[in-house]
Structure 1
Amino acid sequence: MRAWLQTRWYSPVPPLPLLPLAWLYGRVAAVRRRRLLSTAPYLPVPVIVVGNVTVGGTGKTPFVIWLVEHLRRWGWNPGVVSRGYGGRAPHYPHRVDAADDPRHCGDEPLLIARRTAVPVVVDPDRVAAVRHLVETSRVDIVVSDDGLQHYRLARHLEICIVDGARGLGNGALLPAGPLREPPERLREVDLVVVNGDGWTDSVLRPLRMHVQITDARSISGNVVRPLADFRGRPVHAVAGIGHPARFFAALRARGLDLIEHAFADHQAYDRQTLAFGDDLPVLMTEKDAVKCAAFAAPHWWQVPAQAQLAPADAARVQESVSRLRSVAG
C-alpha cells in the first residue's frame, strides 16, 4: 500500500477515491492551525522554523546545519530545537550531547549537534524545548528543525524546503497526495528553498540549494578517503533517509558502481541488518552512520553532505534574518 501511494503521489493525477479524505484532512488541519496560532505563547528570542509541506525528505537537515553555521558568522548565538523523531528520551526536555544515544534523541538532532556544536534540545513539545534552551544556554536565536505545522510554536521566520526533483507531487493533500498543507501555504512562508534542480515558481522566486557529498570518512576511526578510491568494484550504498535515490544518484555521479540498499527514513540498524555477506565497502549517509557507530565494521564509511547556496541567495537569507534583531532586542 505504501509503495502504491508513493507512486500515485508523484504521478500527475491523484487517486480519485482518496480525494474526499484529502478534503476532510484539509478542513481539520485548517481548524487546528487557527486554534493553535491563536494560543501560541510568547517566546523571549526569535524563532526560525525550517520545515516542509510534503511528507518525506527534502534536504531539511543539511539546510539547518548551513543556517546555524551562517547565523554564527552573522553574529548570532544560535541553538536548535527538534521533536527528536525516532528517539525516546528518558525525560523531556532532553539536551543532546555529541556522545548521545540516537535511540534517545533521534538521528537528525544528533547529527546537527555533532556537526555544529551548538546547543540542541529535543522535546515533542517544541515550546518547552525553546524555553529550556533559553534558560540553560546563552542563545539569542533558535532554529526549529522541522515544525512548520507545529503551530503551538510561535515563529518569527518560516523557511520551507522543497525537493527540486519531486516538487509538490500531484499537488493533493494527504492521503491522496504528499502534501501536509495546501500548495498556497508556500505563499505565506518567508523563504522557499528548493533542494536541487527542477521545481520552481516564478511568483515565489525560490532560493536554490545544492547538497554536495564530500570525501568518505570511516565510521570506526578517523580515516578519510576520496570517493574516487572506491571506483573499480561494487560498493554497498545504504540510505535510510526520506529520499534514498538522491544519495544513490550523488554516488553514481562520482563514478561508483552501487549495490543499493534503501531503508525506511529513521531506520534502526544493527550489525546483522548491514551484514551483506562480503567484504565490499559499505557507504552510507551521515544520518545513518550516527546510528551505527557502536558496532561499525572497519569497511563501513560515512559520506558527509554540505548544503551550498549561491551568494545572492545566502544574502537573501541574511537579509531576512537581520530583521529579527528588533525581536532580539
Structure 2
Amino acid sequence: MTPDRILGLQEKFAHILGPLSKAYARLMRLRAQFYLSGKWASWRPPAACISVGNISWGGTGKTPVVSWLLDWARGEGIDATVLTRGYGGRPPHLPYEVQLLSPPREAGDEPLLLKRTHPQARILVDPKRVRAGKTAGRNRTDLFILDDGYQHLRIQRDLNLCLLSPRDLDEEWNRVIPAGSWREDVSALKRADAFLVNTMFDSDDGCIETVARIKLTHLGKPIFFFRVTARGVANALTGEAMDTLDGTRFVLVTAIANPDKVCQTCKGDLGEKPVRHLVYPDHHPFSVSDWQAIVASAERNACTHIVCTPKDAVKLAPFADERLWTPQLTTTFSAAGSQSFRAWLDERVHILPRKPHAPEETSNE
C-alpha cells in the first residue's frame, strides 16, 4: 500500500484514529519519562554511542547515514560496532555477528549490505540490543552505532541523531500512529542532539530547508540536510560500471520502504526511467521463483537490464545473472548553519568518553 493510500485511509477514519493517536502519544511520552528519569533501567555502553533513528516509521535514510558514519569512523581510526535489529533476517543464534559470506536470510539485507561495504566494522544483529552491546563491549570497540535507535531508550547514547523526511515536515507533522506515521509526538524531538533532514528527490531543496528552519529552529539543535544520489550503476556480478542508464531499457525492482525514491533516482541521477517497476514489500526475502518472474517481466518488456537497490542486490545476486545492476550510491550533507556535519561530529565525538583498550590476551567475564 502506498503512503498516499495510507494517508487517505487515515483521513477517512480520522474520527476514530484521532483519539487512539492521542492515547498512544501519551503512553510514549510516559515511557520516555520513565527511562529518562531512571525509573526504568537503561544500559550505559562502555564506549561512545551514536543513535541513528527517526520519529516516523518508514524509510528516511537510516542505512545510508549509518554507512556514512562507518566511513567517517574508519577515516578517524575509530573501531565501530553497529547494533541493529536486523529486520528480515532469521539468525541461527543471538547475538549474531554478520560475516562477509553470511546468508541474507540469516543476517537480513541491511546488516549484510553494511558488512560487505564496511568489512572492518562489526555488525551485530539482535532484537535485544543491550545483549548485543554487552557482547561487543568485551572486545575492542571505540564507538557503538545504534541503528534505528531513537525510541530504543534501553541504551543510553551520547549523540541522538533524528532523521526526518520532507513528509515529516509537511503533511505528517505530529501525526502519531495510528492516525499518522509518527512513532511519538512532537515533544520527542527535544531528545535530539541534531536533526538530519533527507531532502530525497524534492526539486526545491530551498523550500525544504525553509520549512525545516520554521519547524525545528526553536528547539535550539543543529539542522543538517542530506541527500542520497546515484553516480552510475555497477553490475552486481561482474562489477562492470556504467555512468548512466540513458537509452537503456530496464526493469526496476525494489523491496524498500520508499520505492518511488529509487524510481526518481533512476530518472534524475541516471538519466532514464524504468520500462517497468516491480514493487515488493520492504525487506522481501527474494527467492529463485521471484528472480524467474523478474526475468520473465524483463523479457516481455524487451529489457536488457534489471536494476535493483544495493540492499536488494545482496538477496538477488545468489541466483541472478549478468542482467542485474545496482546504483552506486553516495551520501552528501549540507548544513543550515556555518558548521558542516562532519565538523560538528568531529567536535562532539572528540570530547566523548572512550573505553580503554584491554590487552589482547585479557578475557572478560
The answer, yes or no, to whether TM exceeds 0.5 is yes
1:68 paired residue number: 70
- Paired residue for 1:32? 31
Shift in Å, 1:41: 2.3
- Does the Cα contact within 8 Å between 1:216 and 1:226 map onto a contact in 2? yes
Q: Distance in 1 between matches of 2:16 and 2:189?
A: 26
- Which residue does 1:201 correspond to in 2? 213
CA distance in 1, matches of 2:4, 2:235: 37
Matches within 5 A, 1:174-189: 174-189=177-192
Aligned residue for 1:122?
Answer: 125
Q: Distance in 2 between matches of 1:62 and 1:54?
A: 17
Confirm whether residue 17 of structure 1 aligns to residue 10 of structure 2.
Answer: no
**1:71 Cα deviation after fit:** 1.9
**Which of 81, 88, 91 in structure 1 is aligned with 2:90?**
88
C-alpha distance 238-166 of structure 1, shift in aligned 2 (>3 A): farther
Residues 36-58 of structure 1: per-residue CA shift (max 9 Å, x gap): 44200232111111000111000
Of 146, 153, 156, the residue aligned with 1:154 is 156
Cα 1:256–1:271 change in 2 (3 A) is farther
One of 217, 229, 232 as aligned partner of 1:215: 232
Q: Which residue of 2 aligns with 1:283?
A: 307
Distance 1:232 1:10 in 2: 40
- Superposed CA offset, 1:53-101 (max 9, x none): 1110001100111011112223321111101111111110000001111
1:111-161 deviation line (CA, Å, top 9, x unaligned): 1111112111110011111111222x4211110111211111121111011
Q: Assess if the C-alpha contact under 8 Å between 1:210 and 1:307 holds in 2.
A: yes
- 8 Å CA contact 2:29, 2:188 repeated in 1: no
Q: 2:330 aligns with which of 302, 306, 317?
A: 306
309-318 vs 17-26, which deviates more?
Answer: 309-318
Q: Classify the secondary structure of the residue corresponding to 2:342.
A: helix
Matched residue, 1:255: 271
Q: Percent identity?
A: 29
Which deviates more from structure 2 when the two are superposed, residues 16-25 or residues 50-59? Answer: 16-25
After alignment, is 33-42 or 139-148 more displaced? 33-42
1:230-288, CA deviations, whole angstroms, 9 ceiling, x for partnerless residues?
32243111121111111110110132131222222111112332231505211111011
CA separation of 1:182/1:245 partners in 2, compared to 1, >3 Å: closer, same or farther?
Answer: same
- TM-score norm. by structure 2 comes to 0.82
Structure 2: gaps spanning 5 or more residues: 200-204, 357-365
Q: Is the 8 A contact 1:10 1:170 kept in 2?
A: no
In 2, Cα distance between equivalents of 1:48 and 1:19: 33
Shifted more, 96-105 versus 197-206: the winner is 197-206
Residues 285 and 304, structure 1, Cα contact 8 Å, conserved in 2: no
Q: Is the Cα contact below 8 Å between 2:45 and 2:137 reproduced in 1?
A: no
* 1:71 partner letter: A
Instruction: Please report how far the alpha carbon of residue 5 of structure 1 lies from its aligned counterpart in structure 2 after TM superposition.
Output: 5.7
Report the Cα distance in structure 1 between the residues aligned to 2:13 and 2:140, rounded to whole angstroms. 48
Given that 1:50 and 1:60 are in contact with CA atoms closer than 8 Å, whether structure 2 keeps it comes out as: yes
TM-fit CA distance, 1:296: 1.1
1:246 corresponds to? 261
What is the rounded CA distance, in whole Å, between the counterparts of 1:14 and 1:307 in structure 2?
A: 38
CA contact (8 A) 1:14 1:170 kept: no
CA distance in 2, matches of 1:249, 1:41: 41
Does structure 2 conserve the Cα–Cα contact (< 8 Å) formed by 1:10 and 1:166? no
Distance 1:161 1:94, change over 3 A: same
Work out the CA distance in 2 between the residues paired with 1:286 and 1:10. Answer: 32
Judge conservation of contact 2:167–2:173 (CA < 8 Å) in 1: no
- Counterpart Cα distance in 2 of 1:200 and 1:262: 30
Q: Distance in 2 between matches of 1:264 and 1:102?
A: 16
User: Which segments of 5 or more consecutive residues in structure 1 lack a partner in the other structure?
Assistant: none
Give the Cα–Cα distance (whole angstroms) in 1 for the partners of residues 298 and 68 of structure 2. Answer: 37
1:318 Cα offset (Å): 2.0
What SS class does the counterpart of residue 94 from structure 2 fall into? coil
Output the CA distance in 1 between the equivalents of 2:242 and 2:253: 17
Does 1:264 find its partner at 2:281?
yes
Q: AA paired with 2:54? A: N
Aligned partner of residue 7 in structure 1, secondary structure: helix
SS in 2 for 1:215: strand
Q: 1:6 maps to what in 2?
A: 6
**Which of 317, 322, 346 matches 1:293?**
317
C-alpha separation in 1, matches of 2:9 and 2:111: 28
1:201: Cα distance to partner? 2.6
Residue-pair matches, total? 324
